[in-house]
Amino acid sequence: MKKKVNILVVDDQPYERESICALLEGEGHTVKGVSSGEEALEQIGKGRYGLVVTDLRMPGMEGREVTRRMKAISPQTEIIVVTAYGEIPTAVDAIRNGASDYITKGAGFPEMLLDSIGRLRLRSGESSGRAPSKVVEIIGENSSIQEAKRLAGIFARHDDLRFPILILGETGTGKDLFAKFIHQQSPRNQKPYVEINCAELQENLAESVLFGHEKGAFTNALNRHIGLFEQAHQGTLFFDEAGLLSQTNQGKLLRAIEQQEITRLGGVHPIPVNVRIIAATNSDLKKEVAEGRFREDLYHRLHGFDIHLPPLRDRKEDILILTNHFLRQFGGENKTISESAMQHLLRYPWPGNVRELRIVIHRAVIVSGEKTISEKDLHHELLTEMSTSRADKNPPPEKPEDHDSLPKMERKLIVRVLRTCQGNIHQASKRLGISRQTLYSKISRRNIRAEEYN
């Protein structure tokens, strides 16, 4: 049975407000409508609302400010912003202020609103009658990585070809993983997912690779070739290291995004393509624009729906979780790591980020002949000499938790995850990347009491 929700509807237009209220009441929800952001904040302070549906453009306090203030008063309340197509970049700002989703006005609005509510309830553990699809696993409890995952899910569901998605982050932070996650979360998840590493895209072959060519288009073009855009039709095309695209190819990509059509090399007829573009780079594109290496118009087209991935050195608590995950992946349920070895991993600045940690753990599992990985199993050149030299040259900023001992850091992390999972041991063990038996053991060893997380 579907659980009913207390919903607050905020819209200064009486007809639209009453229409939304009638729609939601027809689904069995308890609904209250108000005409301004000020009234909405007053109601949030008085009542218990699980969901707020607010218009973006209103006199006085607009939807973005309503969202920001509501999340400060009631962080658990889900907020859906209603917007017109031309206001999508502004709606994205509301998402960054804490909104859970946005819905565009026009044809299909009622269905989109009900579908969004169903997804939000499914995410919070309530049944919406739809089975969740299998998705790429993104691991981490750090607030920055959780926010990146939240934005990725929202951007994935809004399948507007005019707004590509840009993923920013250092090498090894998981940009390709996020691209696959977005594809699997999107309505295109049963369609092709095609990726290209722009660092390997040769200038003289780029047009043929991207757009294809007709037979006889150039010497040795003995057959028609279908390019990546056509291969990805109705699906997703991922440009990894997009900052390395040449100026010429940047212009061709911009035209394909804006016109939603391509022409094969040697061809004369434009071919419509329905492709969602995801781009990723470790470059500072703003600096690249200023120095004339990246087109400003393409930069502005890409960076509206942007996601920033933090480096591993800023996700200290996730080193524990990721290490446990890789231990299980490469060594099975029984492989563990000693606290002294773990201290090495926590002190290292990880210039190669998650990718480097994965390689280090994989190697340690292979060379270790024991159940528990110790210091001697770690790559000492990597974890001592390189750590010292790189840390001296470019020390990462210290944070208060850097001075915590491993047991204290682990205790804090377990309590936080248990609170998030409302004491559910099965869910918490999955998020921590350990078995339930290991989690029970750690709860006992760290003297964690039930009242700390319930």
How do residues 89-120 score in pLDDT, each as one tens digit? Answer: 777 777 877 888 888 777 678 877 887 787 67
Answer whether residue 105 is part of any domain: yes
Answer whether residue 139 is part of any domain: no
Torsion sign across C-alpha atoms 321, 185, 190, 253: negative
Whether residues 239 and 327 fall in one domain: no
Number of domains in the chain: 3
Instruction: From 252, 282, 308, give the residue that closes a domain.
Output: 308
pLDDT at 133 over 60: no
| Residue count (the chain) | 454
Answer whether residue 1 is part of any domain: no
Residue 324 is part of which domain span? 314-452
Give first-to-last CA distance, the chain, whole Å: 26
For residues 10-36, give the mean pLDDT. 89
pLDDT at 441 over 80: no
Query: Which comes out higher in pLDDT, residue 425 or 314?
Result: 314
Whether residues 70 and 185 fall in one domain: no
CA distance 404 to 316: 11
Q: Which domain CATH number covers 436?
A: 1.10.8.60
pLDDT digits (tens, 9 = 90+) for 415-429: 888 888 878 888 888
Whether residues 236 and 171 fall in one domain: yes
Whether residues 288 and 320 fall in one domain: no
Whether residues 159 and 292 fall in one domain: yes
Beta-bridged to residue 306, according to DSSP, are: 166
Answer whether residue 353 is part of any domain: yes
pLDDT for 213: 87
pLDDT at 77 over 80: yes
Whether residues 293 and 382 fall in one domain: no
For residues 364-386, give the mean pLDDT. 76
Whether residues 303 and 343 fall in one domain: no
pLDDT digits (tens, 9 = 90+) for 169-217: 999 999 999 999 999 989 898 888 998 888 888 887 888 889 988 888 8
Residue ranges of alpha helices (H) inside 246-338 are 247-259, 285-290, 296-302, 316-331
Burial of 224 per CB tally in 10 Å (0-12, 13-18, 19+) = middle
CA distance 14 to 204: 59
pLDDT at 1 over 50: no
Answer whether residue 133 is part of any domain: no
Answer whether residue 288 is part of any domain: yes
Contact 357, 324 (CB under 8 A): no
pLDDT at 389 over 50: no
Answer whether residue 129 is part of any domain: no
pLDDT for 341: 87
Whether residues 148 and 18 fall in one domain: no
Lowest pLDDT segment from 206-220, 290-304, 313-327, 391-405? 391-405
pLDDT at 165 over 90: yes
Angle at the Cα of 220 from the Cα atoms of 219 and 223, rounded to 5 degrees: 120
CA distances from 417 to 120, 314, 439, 452 (A): 20, 18, 11, 11
Name the strand (E) or helix (H) holding 425: helix 425-432
Whether residues 257 and 329 fall in one domain: no
Q: Which domain CATH number covers 58?
A: 3.40.50.2300
Q: What percent of the chain has pLDDT over 90?
A: 30
Q: Which domain CATH number covers 232?
A: 3.40.50.300
Query: Which comes out higher in pLDDT, residue 48 or 284?
Result: 284
Contact 277, 298 (CB under 8 A): no
Whether residues 168 and 286 fall in one domain: yes
Q: What is the pTM of this model?
A: 0.70
pLDDT for 3: 65
pLDDT for 388: 52
Residue ranges of alpha helices (H) inside 305-405 are 316-331, 339-347, 353-367, 380, 387-393
Mean of per-residue pLDDT scores for the chain: 83
Answer whether residue 137 is part of any domain: no
| Amino acid at the residue 20 | I
CA distance 284 to 306: 13
